[in-house]
Chain A
Amino acid sequence: MAEHFYDGQIRKYLVQIMRLFSNFSYQTGDGTEKQVPVIYGDLTRQVGSILRDNSENKIPSAPRMAVYITGLELDRDRTSDSSFVNKRHVRERAKDNNGNYTDEQGRQYTVERLMPTPYKLTVNVDIWSTNTDMKLQIMEQILMLFNPSLDIQTTDNYLDWTSLTTIMLESTTFSSRSIPVGVDSEIDVAQMSFSTPIYISPPAKVKRLGVVTNIVTSIFDGDGYYDFEKMLEGTNLFSIGGMTPPYKINGDEDSDKVVDTGAKPSDGDGILEPRTQITRTNKPIIKNPLQHRILILNGEIQLLDNGLPSNTEWEDYFVELAGTYKPGLSIMYFRKPDISGLVAGRITINQLDPTKLVIDWDRDTLPSNDTIQGPARDTNQYSSVDYIVDPLRYDPKSDTSKAGVRLLILGAIGGVNNADGADAWKNTDNSDFVAGANDIIEYDGANWHIVFDASADYLPYNDETIETLYTTNLNTGVQYYWDGEQWLLSVDGEYAKGDWVIELDG
């Protein structure tokens, strides 16, 4: 079964056919020109009454033309491979904020069109006239157009491959009256029969045209070699991009093991033998500007060149990309191996240093925080800390220290070997509190407790050992990430090519 779809395709053909016969006119003896109205011939009685003002005294106007469908048949001679899919790649012009087209490139699309079904549509055009001269005036204007046929077009959409068709005059009946006229002179109708080959199309599939940023060669055979044959199966990448020169394992110079150097793709015999093939790495198939490594540090993004921050200004870089840079609206996406999904933020070029982009993270895309249970904290706030403090500079007796407050400490508090611990951090019962650097501690109103022991990667209240940990500092809204050794900003770091992409149009 199919979901509802209707595009009014036959209606569009009929509308164009009626338009074709519109605007013809005839001239009376005094030089007055009068247009001949064209209406659809199969009207309902109710509409017919409305056209006549619901009165039998209304008089019909003559001449007049009526168009109506007389047949719609499958045209078997024109049927083609019904599974054929044709693709078109088009680029839109970009639009400005007012919705007007600019002279720059906008989005790119791929439109896939499935083979339409051919039909033959036949229509009759009846011309009612009240005298022969009138009939000849109208017919002369029409008949000269069909030499031998006339093109009609249902839409001017470049992507509609069925919109253009022809209309052919199949036959003409000059008069509906019998000659000679008998006792009753009936109305005189000239009839022209037309046929037009049409197509009825299924919906097209519209896709955003993506840019290949990286080919992940993660398919290996049992010997640990890249299974190129498998990887390239069904693709034409081999002939487009080619391969780098063969990599010599242990100085093996036997290049015969390589079936195709890839230097001249058309020279190879096209037979791949994975077992005898030596690993080669793919080189970029297309010229793509997103081939750099980037560095994110403290909410700023910089391109890396040879591992070091480069002097390339982002504005120059954006010229290479499709779309138009929009400050605060253009989006950058990142992929981190330890989280699913993409991290995204809106970017703005730093006016003080154009080599840096300032990114405003979309918090919904950041990785979710881990739950760290504790003795007194509200269960809704298990995934956050209140402050990050240096225990030597923070006064635990201050008003900040309320039941449930949670701190990430940058340094150690006391030590297990100390005879007398830090006075300021003593509990209410005067017992010593000892914690290590990078621990997360919590106050229950009387005593301090460790809720994350960084030295052991252990969550005491969860009774769980972890490898990584995400939590957010509620004081600044910044998310941090424990990598087993240190706390890092959760999304900071270097990103390789293919792990990031920019969408300038937002």
Chain B
Amino acid sequence: MCMPRLSLYKPERGADFKFLDRQINEMFTIGGTDLFVHKYIGTNDGTTEKDHTQIQDMLFLENRDRKYDADIYTIRGIYNVQDIDFDLSQFGLFLSNDTLFMTVHISSSVDAIGRKLMPGDVIELPHLKDEYALNDFSVALKRFYVIEDINRAAEGFSPTWYPHLYRLKLKQIVDSQEYKDILDLPASEDYPEDGTLRDVLSTFEAEMNVNNAVVAEAEANTPKSGYDVDENFYTLAVDETTGRKKVQQVAEDGSTITDSATPTTHGYKGLLIGDEFAPNGSSFASGISFPLDSTEGDYFLRTDFLPQRMFRYDGKRWLKAHDVKRAPMNNDTTQTLRGSFINDIDSFIYDRHIAQDFVRLDVGDTVIDTEIAYITAKYIQLEYTSDTGDGALRLNYVVADNAGMLTSYDDNGTERVRITLPASAIKDEGLYSLTLHNERTQQRQALSQVLKPKADN
């Protein structure tokens, strides 16, 4: 008889392994710290949901719109606490050695979470809460890390040669698209009104405040492009017969300043000069067509020109005084190339209407009982027919954004469409055309999408 060969390694994970594994797990229970795990469950880019084994962007090979389990799992972990220094080398403060290497028990973590921990899982360390941050929040700031790598820990191999520990490489998360799902959680379960985790943890608000202050200073320095000669500078009127400048034109009786004394142009030369003001602060009207009852010296701003153009009436003709070249520098939709090509996101083309009716409205009317048989629609367009031509008064509403706007009423047994408008919507009395649409096309489109055949999609 011979003794069996002594070997702690066995092809199967036997009782020795289990004994050691229980002891090691117990050591984590005794000496480890709690880890709250936010489990990565996949991605959702708004159209496609993918699970944690899939890739969102097959080109760039990245998972951006990550989703996390609503449940939070608790496991234990052990790591060496390190001193950390702030690094200002890029974008302000980053933690220079904010990489943690942590060990967790394999079998208990898999039991708790339901799978092996993976990069993208986010771990909260409750023992690193900061109660004394420099703010007026009523909650302590939590510490979040994301797993970058996970491997078997070298020190986690027992004499059985089987591993018991995972070594996690952790980095602090940032307030970015990837962790939006976590940072949208309330900062305090008890007081959800205190805001989200992002509100208390992220530096975004502080950075935006800094950014806004800089923009405000820039806005104060240069509220509009170009140069201001209309607001505070005086332009001498020009006598059209002599071409000489004069301050004011006085009538023959020596008392009246005639209309023709208004200047024909600015009087100042330079790049980007011209505002939506008439020279010398003179009064002017504006619109998309010239008025019929004008007198010599009148100014009129044509708002349908790009850029808008100020005209002066010389008694016979409307002559150009100047173009409105100055434009605000913010994200608005001015009559400029930038405003109409890049920033204009509110102009739509309403294609085929699904129903139409003409209604006669008074100023302040809100309820319109149409003759259209009841039908639902996505968009409502109301056009003032007395104001024809491009730029005519049109009111556009998105039904989904205006609850209760499109309803029905009983017209002697027939259900018809009733439109309820906001109180100040109708400012002119007259005949309106009401159309209902289910399709509309945005004017601003990416070049690759322009007039792309929809039927092929």
Q: Does A474 sit at the interface, judged by CB under 8 A?
A: no
Q: Which residues of the partner chain B approach A61 to less than 8 Å between Cβ atoms?
A: 174-176, 202-204, 207
User: Nearest residue in B to A95 (C-beta to C-beta)?
Assistant: B232
Q: Does A30 sit at the interface, judged by CB under 8 A?
A: yes
Cβ contact within 8 Å between A58 and B60: no
Q: How far is the CA of A189 from the CA of B330 in the complex (A)?
A: 26
Q: List residues of A (72-123) whose CB comes within 8 Å of B's CBs.
A: 90-94, 101-106
Cβ contact within 8 Å between B204 and A92: no
Q: Does B228 sit at the interface, judged by CB under 8 A?
A: yes
Cβ contact within 8 Å between A58 and B202: yes
- Return B308 CB to nearest CB of chain A, in Å: 18
Cβ contact within 8 Å between B176 and A130: yes
Q: Which residues of the partner chain A approach B420 to less than 8 Å between Cβ atoms?
A: none
Q: List residues of B (125-161) whose CB comes within 8 Å of A's CBs.
A: 128-130, 132-135, 141-144, 148
Q: A29-B44, A57-B133 are in contact. Are A37 and B211 (CB under 8 A)?
A: yes
Selecting from A42-50, A200-208, A233-241, A402-410, the interface stretch reads A42-50
Q: Does A51 sit at the interface, judged by CB under 8 A?
A: yes
Determine which of B177, B215, B232 lies in contact with A28 in the assembled complex, contact meaning CB atoms within 8 Å.
Answer: B177
Determine which of A18, A131, A155 lies in contact with B62 in the assembled complex, contact meaning CB atoms within 8 Å.
Answer: A131
Q: Which residues of the partner chain B approach A163 to less than 8 Å between Cβ atoms?
A: 222, 227
Chain A interface residue count, CB cutoff 8 Å, equals: 74
Q: A18-B214, A22-B215 are in contact. Are A132 and B236 (CB under 8 A)?
A: no
Q: Does B370 sit at the interface, judged by CB under 8 A?
A: no
Q: How far is the CA of A134 from the CA of B56 in the complex (A)?
A: 14
Q: How far is the CA of A304 from the CA of B64 in the complex (A)?
A: 89
Cβ contact within 8 Å between A31 and B214: no
- Return B400 CB to nearest CB of chain A, in Å: 14
Cβ contact within 8 Å between B203 and A15: no
Q: Does B221 sit at the interface, judged by CB under 8 A?
A: yes
Q: Does B254 sit at the interface, judged by CB under 8 A?
A: yes
Cβ contact within 8 Å between A93 and B281: yes
Cβ contact within 8 Å between A91 and B236: yes
Selecting from B6-14, B91-99, B387-395, the interface stretch reads B91-99
User: Nearest residue in B to A15 (C-beta to C-beta)?
Assistant: B218
Cβ contact within 8 Å between B207 and A37: yes
Digitize A33-65: 1 where CB-to-B-CB distance is under 8 Å, 0 elsewhere: 001011111010100111111111111111110
Q: Does B178 sit at the interface, judged by CB under 8 A?
A: yes
User: Nearest residue in A to B48 (C-beta to C-beta)?
Assistant: A29
Cβ contact within 8 Å between B203 and A103: no
Q: Which residues of the partner chain B approach A103 to less than 8 Å between Cβ atoms?
A: 280-282
Cβ contact within 8 Å between A132 and B62: yes
Q: List residues of B (71-119) whose CB comes within 8 Å of A's CBs.
A: 84, 86, 88, 90-95, 99
Chain B interface residue count, CB cutoff 8 Å, equals: 86
Q: How far is the CA of A321 from the CA of B446 in the complex (A)?
A: 59
Cβ contact within 8 Å between B65 and A102: no
Q: Does B362 sit at the interface, judged by CB under 8 A?
A: no
Q: List residues of A (285-342) whose CB comes within 8 Å of B's CBs.
A: 316, 319-320, 322
Determine which of B60, B175, B223 lies in contact with A133 in the assembled complex, contact meaning CB atoms within 8 Å.
Answer: B60
Cβ contact within 8 Å between B231 and A50: no
Cβ contact within 8 Å between A52 and B93: yes
Q: A38-B211, A64-B91 are in contact. Are A156 and B226 (CB under 8 A)?
A: yes
Q: Which residues of the partner chain A approach B90 to less than 8 Å between Cβ atoms?
A: 41, 66, 126, 128, 187, 189
Determine which of A26, A51, A102, A316 lies in contact with B281 in the assembled complex, contact meaning CB atoms within 8 Å.
Answer: A102
Q: How far is the CA of A101 from the CA of B62 in the complex (A)?
A: 60
Determine which of B173, B201, B207 lies in contact with A64 in the assembled complex, contact meaning CB atoms within 8 Å.
Answer: B207
- Return A344 CB to nearest CB of chain B, in Å: 24
Q: A50-B134, A52-B93, A158-B233 are in contact. Are A16 and B174 (CB under 8 A)?
A: no
- Return A329 CB to nearest CB of chain B, in Å: 20
Q: Does A365 sit at the interface, judged by CB under 8 A?
A: no
Digitize B206-246: 1 where CB-to-A-CB distance is under 8 Å, 0 elsewhere: 11101100110111011111111101111110000000000
Q: How far is the CA of A63 from the CA of B202 in the complex (A)?
A: 12
Q: Which residues of the partner chain A approach B60 to less than 8 Å between Cβ atoms?
A: 131-133
Cβ contact within 8 Å between B91 and A41: yes
Q: How far is the CA of A37 from the CA of B205 in the complex (A)?
A: 9
Cβ contact within 8 Å between B281 and A101: yes
Cβ contact within 8 Å between B92 and A51: yes
Q: Which residues of the partner chain A approach B349 to less than 8 Å between Cβ atoms?
A: none
- Return B450 CB to nearest CB of chain A, in Å: 16
- Return B114 CB to nearest CB of chain A, in Å: 25
Q: How far is the CA of A50 from the CA of B218 in the complex (A)?
A: 24
Q: Does B455 sit at the interface, judged by CB under 8 A?
A: no
Q: A51-B92, A54-B134 are in contact. Are A59 and B208 (CB under 8 A)?
A: no
Q: Which residues of the partner chain A approach B91 to less than 8 Å between Cβ atoms?
A: 39, 41, 60, 64, 66, 126, 128
Q: Which residues of the partner chain B approach A56 to less than 8 Å between Cβ atoms?
A: 84, 86, 95, 130, 143
- Return A246 CB to nearest CB of chain B, in Å: 28
Cβ contact within 8 Å between B215 and A157: no
Q: Does B319 sit at the interface, judged by CB under 8 A?
A: no
Q: Which residues of the partner chain B approach A320 to less than 8 Å between Cβ atoms?
A: 247
- Return B177 CB to nearest CB of chain A, in Å: 5
Q: How far is the CA of A12 from the CA of B219 in the complex (A)?
A: 11
Digitize A132-156: 1 where CB-to-B-CB distance is under 8 Å, 0 elsewhere: 1110000000000000000101111
User: Nearest residue in A to B326 (C-beta to C-beta)?
Assistant: A156
Q: Does A19 sit at the interface, judged by CB under 8 A?
A: yes
Q: Which residues of the partner chain B approach A130 to less than 8 Å between Cβ atoms?
A: 174, 176-178
Q: How far is the CA of A185 from the CA of B61 in the complex (A)?
A: 14
Q: A51-B92, A134-B177 are in contact. Are A59 and B203 (CB under 8 A)?
A: yes
Q: How far is the CA of A95 from the CA of B65 in the complex (A)?
A: 59
Q: Does A218 sit at the interface, judged by CB under 8 A?
A: no
Q: List residues of A (135-193) whose CB comes within 8 Å of B's CBs.
A: 151, 153-158, 163-164, 184-185, 187, 189
Determine which of A19, A39, A62 lies in contact with B176 in the assembled complex, contact meaning CB atoms within 8 Å.
Answer: A62
Cβ contact within 8 Å between A30 and B281: no
Max count, chain B CB within 10 A of own CB: residue among A49, A53, A56, A59:
A59
Determine which of B88, B201, B222, B233 lies in contact with A58 in the assembled complex, contact meaning CB atoms within 8 Å.
Answer: B201
Q: Does B329 sit at the interface, judged by CB under 8 A?
A: yes
Cβ contact within 8 Å between B211 and A39: yes
User: Nearest residue in B to A134 (C-beta to C-beta)?
Assistant: B177
Q: A37-B211, A185-B148 are in contact. Are A101 and B133 (CB under 8 A)?
A: no
Q: Which residues of the partner chain A approach B45 to less than 8 Å between Cβ atoms?
A: 29-30
- Return A51 CB to nearest CB of chain B, in Å: 5
Max count, chain B CB within 10 A of own CB: residue among A30, A58, A133, A187:
A58
- Return B198 CB to nearest CB of chain A, in Å: 8
Q: Which residues of the partner chain A approach B255 to less than 8 Å between Cβ atoms?
A: 316
Q: Does A23 sit at the interface, judged by CB under 8 A?
A: yes
Cβ contact within 8 Å between B248 and A93: no
Cβ contact within 8 Å between B201 and A60: no
Cβ contact within 8 Å between A133 and B130: no
User: Nearest residue in B to A54 (C-beta to C-beta)?
Assistant: B134
Q: Does B29 sit at the interface, judged by CB under 8 A?
A: no
Q: Which residues of the partner chain A approach B143 to less than 8 Å between Cβ atoms?
A: 56-57
Cβ contact within 8 Å between A60 and B93: yes
Cβ contact within 8 Å between B133 and A59: no
Q: Which residues of the partner chain A approach B326 to less than 8 Å between Cβ atoms?
A: 156
Q: List residues of B (31-65) whose CB comes within 8 Å of A's CBs.
A: 43-46, 56-57, 60, 62, 64-65
Q: How far is the CA of A278 from the CA of B65 in the complex (A)?
A: 95
Determine which of B88, B128, B174, B208 lies in contact with A37 in the assembled complex, contact meaning CB atoms within 8 Å.
Answer: B208
Q: Which residues of the partner chain A approach B134 to less than 8 Å between Cβ atoms?
A: 49-50, 53-55
Determine which of B203, B224, B236 lies in contact with A52 in the assembled complex, contact meaning CB atoms within 8 Å.
Answer: B203
Cβ contact within 8 Å between B92 and A60: yes
Return 6 A-B CB contacts under 8 Å, by A number.
Answer: A30-B46, A53-B133, A91-B233, A155-B222, A164-B271, A319-B254
Residues of A near any B CB (own CB < 8 A): 12, 15-16, 18-19, 22-23, 26, 28-32, 35, 37-41, 43, 45, 48-64, 66, 90-94, 101-106, 126, 128, 130-134, 151, 153-158, 163-164, 184-185, 187, 189, 316, 319-320, 322
Q: In the complex, given contacts A12-B221, A56-B86, A133-B57, what are 13 additional A-B residue pairs having Cβ atoms less than 8 angstroms apart?
A: A15-B214, A19-B219, A22-B211, A39-B91, A106-B234, A126-B91, A128-B91, A130-B174, A158-B233, A158-B268, A187-B94, A189-B90, A320-B247
